[in-house]
Amino acid sequence: MKTTNVILCFAVSFLVLTSCTNLTSIGDKTMVNTITISHEDGNTTPRLAAVCANLKAGQENWIVFEKGIYHFRKDGSLEREVNAVNVLPGMKHVIVNLEDAQNVVIDGNGSEFIFDDIVFPFSLIRCRHVTLRNFTIDFSFSRYCQGEVVQSDESGFELSIDPAVFRVDVDEKGHVIFHSSDLSVSTEERPILIGNVIFGRAPWDYVYAGDSRRAPEGLPTSHVLTHAVKTEKGIRFTYLKDSRRLVFPLGDQLLFCYEPRQNVNILASHCEDIHIENVTMYRGGGMGIVLARSSNVYLDNVSIQVRPGRNESRSTTADGVYMVQCSGTVSIRNSLISSTLDDALNIHGIYFKVSGVSSRALTLEGGLPEHGGFQFAEAGDRIEISDGQTHRRKGMFTVTAIKVLPDGRLTCSVDGDCSIVAAGDIVENQSRVPTFIFENNRVAHCPHLRISDNGRHLIRNNVFDGIQCILVQDLLAYWYESGAVADMLIEQNTFMDSPRSRYGYPIEIGSTRQGSSDVRHHNIRILNNQFSCPNGQAINASAIEGLEIRGNRFDGGPQDSMLHIDACTNVTLQDNTFSATTNSSK
């Protein structure tokens, strides 16, 4: 066997890439096409986009960066429409656009990737065997606004805001205008979600400042009505006559999330065999990583966190890792998820609503606008129908064909008589669920690990520090996140200062379906964990068939306060220890 190395330096279009291609071949078979991107100042987007557009089919492509700091801007990016579930639809400026690509490795070699505009850093669509590794993702501007309470009473509140980090203005009509790069968002267009840096402490409300074009109906949480003025230190919000009135402790840090789902740092949609290794994210205007209808995805040594030394309290402005209708094996190992504005992890399916019925076909629509156009199933998948009112199961079908309509609805042909189905019923895909492994990770200062699908779940040897809870629960009422858990092992984890707020349990298992529903969780084992619970509560479990709680250590209270078990069958409690003291640092 003879190996030949050929070095080819090239230019793509009018761009001189100062890059080289190594073609490693065995006989006549080319094995690896290696493209080296040299470190240069300025906008790297055109060079990288040209490389991605000229990958060689039929062989393995390695894109390797010389170690350095690289800046990426809109100029030279691919402007295209990206439809990703729970991402605001529309045209996005995509930096790395891989569609139908196979056998690609992007190796940053320890480089920093800094994005100077609102862009979509990585979009992988229908890709196979892709690895992203050895780089950091950061933006050169904050993706939210944060301020310290310097005055608060029944009349309103004032925030001191650091102008070196957060760009914000107030107009003469009392509207607040937030800026990220070239994006400006005004409260004249819509209310802005405001939260407390300390989980569980008020507020978690929408703020109206000045008049608004959006009525408050349909908001997922409550709201306040204000008029804003600019002050020497920041912004003063004065409550209007009919508003709720919130009073905050002086010194509290409040944050405004005005750009929650503009883009995703890394999107993998309808992909297979994706590896993300040694990647750190410091900022994100939306989710950190979204995996949609993808199978066999592996995250190892991934960090989502606030950049050390930066005056910010949040990393991403939505979930850290978000997975919907995935399959195969999905694993997260040896990773850190910290200071996300929303859930650290959200893994689930999606309920769709039936809007039309024929003899052997259903018309389906998503519960939220962001679900429109998401093909949650394909031919051969098994879907389950539940009554839209009682939430009881009605039947199962096999999908024979599925099509996305121009308005975002789906037509779904099935293998049986649809006379049992009525408009308003809900549909869940029972086939597209993964074996999920969450192992040797640290999760800190985040709301939840939210899990709601019927795959197998292993959550083992993790440290949960200051999270609200592991939440095993569908969210049918608003988010249409589906799924009762079929098999879950929570083993050898450490829970510190959890729940982060003064209420709740670090493990909560239940359902938002109607009490008349026959859908229940099955086979949940909570074994050999350590709980340090400042509020004396550890596990709240309901609607489970087959619950085992064994070998755990509970610090902070007796069994009758630590464990709350309701409407569960086949329950085993064995070899647990309880202490009234806790080593909480809260």
- CATH of the domain spanning 350-429, picked from 3.50.50.60, 3.40.718.10, 3.40.50.300, 2.40.10.170: 2.40.10.170
Whether residue 499 is preceded by a cis peptide bond, meaning omega within 30 degrees of 0, is yes
Give, for all 586 residues of the chain, the pLDDT tens digit. Answer: 333 333 333 333 333 344 455 544 434 345 789 999 999 999 999 999 999 988 988 889 999 999 999 999 999 999 988 877 777 777 899 999 999 999 999 999 999 999 999 999 999 999 999 999 999 999 999 999 999 999 999 999 999 999 999 999 999 999 999 999 988 999 999 999 999 998 778 898 999 999 998 888 888 889 999 999 999 999 999 999 999 999 999 999 999 999 867 789 999 999 999 999 999 999 999 999 999 999 999 999 999 999 999 989 999 999 999 999 999 999 999 999 999 999 999 999 999 999 999 999 999 998 887 787 888 899 999 999 999 999 999 999 999 999 999 998 999 999 999 999 999 999 999 999 999 999 999 999 998 999 998 889 999 999 999 998 999 998 887 788 888 999 999 999 999 988 877 788 999 999 888 877 888 999 999 999 999 988 899 999 999 999 999 999 999 989 999 999 999 999 999 999 999 877 644 4
Domain boundaries, the chain: 3-135+265-338, 145-257, 350-429, 454-579
DSSP line for 549-578? EES-EEESS-HHHHEEEES-EEEEEES-EE
- The phi, psi pair for 562, rounded to 5°, reads -70, -35
pLDDT digits (tens, 9 = 90+) for 270-310: 999 999 999 999 999 999 999 999 999 999 999 999 999 99
Q: List % helix, strand, coil for the chain (3-state, nearest 5).
A: 5, 55, 45
Instruction: Look up residue 556 and give its amino acid.
Output: G
| Mean pLDDT score of the chain | 90
- The phi, psi pair for 72, rounded to 5°, reads -125, 135
CA distance 273 to 295: 7
Question: Model-level pTM?
Answer: 0.90
What pLDDT is recorded for position 583? 60
Neighbours of 42 (CB within 10 A): 10
**Phi-psi domain of 575 (left: phi exceeds 0; alpha: psi -120 through 50; beta: other):** left
The CA-atom distances, in angstroms, between 254 and each of 176, 469, 518 are 15, 22, 42
What pLDDT is recorded for position 23? 46
- The phi, psi pair for 520, rounded to 5°, reads -140, 160
DSSP element (H, E) containing 69: strand 69-72
Tokens of 421: 């189905």
- Please, are residues 410 and 403 in contact by the beta-carbon 8 Å criterion? yes
What pLDDT is recorded for position 218? 80
First to last CA, the chain: 64
CA distance 298 to 286: 21
